[in-house]
Homo-oligomer: A and B are copies of this chain.
Amino acid sequence: MRPKGFLFSVARAGIKKTGAEDMCLIYSEADAAAAATFTTNKVKAAPVWLGMKRIRPGRARAVVVNSGNANSCTGWPGMRDAEETARLAAAALGVPERLVFPCSTGVIGVRLPLEKMRPRIKEMAGSLGSAKLKDAARAIMTTDAYPKYFTRKVKAGSKEGVIAGIAKGAGMIAPNMATMLCFVMTDIAVEPKALKLALREAVEHSFNRITVDGDRSTNDTAFAMANGALGNTPVSADSRRFPGFRRALSEVTYELSRMIARDGEGATKLVEVEVRGARSDEEAKRGAFKVANSMLVKSALHGADPNWGRILVALGTSGIEVRQEKTDVFMGGVKVVLRGVSTGSEREARRKLKRKEVKIAVDLHLGRGRASVLTCDLTEEYVRFNSEYTT
């Protein structure tokens, strides 16, 4: 099951010291509608600056990705390297340069080894179709423990299309290594504007709701292409088919984001933090992120410690409205706090917190605002890895 009209190839350019695959070419046989969201970090990598400019008309043919080097904080020479990468791919593919997007992930502050990449770009253009979705997912990995890909069918009237996605990211490690990259391909015809809308929403409820250490990388990118190979009437934002497409796209990015939240050296638990009863969804989101980013909450979860005090402490500093005498806290489904005071159920909660997937929920009883974010526990391995990693 794969979206028609998309071809992949991968290569080993020696950018990664391990010698593993570190380049990947994603190619659409026809001009595709395209949309992208980029990192909100004020410090952005060269390919992000280029991508932000190039995505405006909403069209694309190819994406050329390298892992092992982020081409970030590399100044003007880095901008030229990003342009050169796209130019080489465009020439080898015989497509307009403006339809080719370069993407990078890896170490910061080091120039791309273009001399190594040049011959591989040509080779990849000549061997399109030799790699599967999983191979592409593997080639974009940096510190990821496993390749991340997901495919699902979606109806477009009487026809059935496919949405496929690959992603990389393992936030437990390091955002400068563990940039989130995601590429979604579909053979359904979608208008660029509708694709953009759907991608924004999908990202907001998936990649924007996972947090491992609260930092955003300089390279984060989610990129979507819809090449219309299915031959359906293009889905527009006001068409009856739009909600179904949007839902399907969100499902793909949600599954990929769970794979990222779960991944990482040392992470042992997938943790969902839900805040409800906030004055607004926005406040709920802010509170949930504060709890999910608290080193103390994350450390306690690693030890299955039902330390609800740390949750209240984090919420109280999030800047949102909290009334302690109204607040309930649930850990692993067990109500540990009722109106700000212990229920005495810590023992039961401890048992539940030993699971691989745990949920923390807070009900503020102040309104109808609600939000959920995904994170993982904080382990000694995280610190070991991040203090030993060498620039």
Contacts and interface: CB of A to CB of B under 8 A. Distances in A.
A142 interface: no
Contacts of A342: 73, 109-110
A325 interface: yes
Contact of A383 (B325, B341, B379): B379
A174 interface: yes
A340 B387 contact: no
Given A305-B387, A307-B391, A389-B307, A296 B213 contact: yes
B73 A314 contact: no
Contact of A339 (B75, B175, B390): B75
State the oligomeric state as a number of copies.
Answer: 2
Interface in A35-57: 40-44
Contacts of A388: 303, 305
Given A75-B341, A109-B342, A322-B43, A378 B383 contact: yes
A300 B383 contact: no
Instruction: Please classify the interface of chain A as helix (H, G, I), strand (E, B), loop, or mixed, using the class held by over half of its residues.
Output: loop
A389 B301 CA distance: 11
Given A176-B307, A390-B305, A391-B305, A215 B314 contact: yes
A29 interface: no
B217 A313 contact: yes
Contacts of A300: 386-387, 389
A380 interface: yes
A362 to B, nearest CB: 11
Contact of A72 (B296, B309, B389): B309
A42 B317 CA distance: 7
A190 B214 CA distance: 44
Interface string A369-391: 00000000111101110111111
A48 to B, nearest CB: 11
A383 B377 CA distance: 10
A74 interface: yes
Interface string A215-238: 111100000000000000000000
A343 B336 CA distance: 53
A116 to B, nearest CB: 20
A315 B43 contact: yes
Nearest to A77: B341
Interface residues of A, number: 65
A306 interface: yes
A383 B73 contact: no
A73 B41 contact: no
Contacts of A384: 380
A303 B43 contact: no
A307 B110 CA distance: 12
Nearest to A390: B305
A108 interface: yes
A129 B42 CA distance: 57
A346 interface: yes
Interface in A308-344: 308-310, 312-317, 321-325, 337, 339-342
18 contacts: A40-B317, A42-B315, A43-B316, A43-B322, A73-B309, A75-B325, A174-B310, A175-B296, A175-B310, A213-B294, A215-B294, A215-B317, A216-B317, A217-B313, A305-B388, A377-B387, A378-B386, A380-B384
Interface of A: 40-44, 72-75, 107-110, 174-176, 213-218, 294-296, 299-300, 302-303, 305-310, 312-317, 321-325, 337, 339-342, 346, 377-380, 382-384, 386-391
